[in-house]
Amino acid sequence: MTWVVGITGGIGCGKTAASDYLAAKGIIVVDSDQIARQVVEPGQPAWRAIVDHFGAHQVLLPNQQLNRSWLRTRVFEQPEERLWLEQQTHPAIRQQTQQQLAQASSPYAILASPLLFESGQQALVQRTLVIDLPESLQLQRASQRDGNSEAQIRRIMSAQISREERLQQADDVVNNAGSLANLQQQLDALHQQYLALAAQTSPSPSPK
């Protein structure tokens, strides 16, 4: 069985910077956001359900891809629509996530997921790592990165558990309020810890 670390954090906290750094060390990263995009590609069952529900003229772009900007606004303005959307996508996301984690060949694997705790994906991992930022910095970095308004970012944050809840559930926390070098220094120490933990849980080779 693959030993898995779940990396999460609020919008703008630096989850991708953290997972990319560990990926550069040879660690397999399974990205739930990428899988979420794959399960709503044109022709997929979840794509068909979304088109039927919202109507092609609203939710589709000319190339038949989902109009993610329109859909994001709609589901964050109407929580019942967000719940409906999650019911269409989460089972497929979970199935593909489990398959990719099982195939990971590195000493340990990472599940990078912004909704690790909210979606119940922490059940798929042995340890959880939260990339943390104060809310003011989170808003600043997210708006600089995505060009979204503060109101839009706050709506996304409100759909996630609070910073306090996330920290309470974390096994490990990295403070990303400083420089990239500081983030990487903290990750270096955790990487060594995870290698050791994964090695402890690996099955012993059969005696010859």
Whether 16 has a binding-site annotation, put simply, is: yes
Whether 147 has a binding-site annotation, put simply, is: no
- Rounded Cα distance between 67 and 207, Å, is 56
Whether 55 has a binding-site annotation, put simply, is: no
Whether 12 has a binding-site annotation, put simply, is: yes
Whether 8 has a binding-site annotation, put simply, is: no
Q: Which residues are annotated as a binding site for ATP?
A: 12-17
Q: Which residues are annotated as a binding site?
A: 12-17
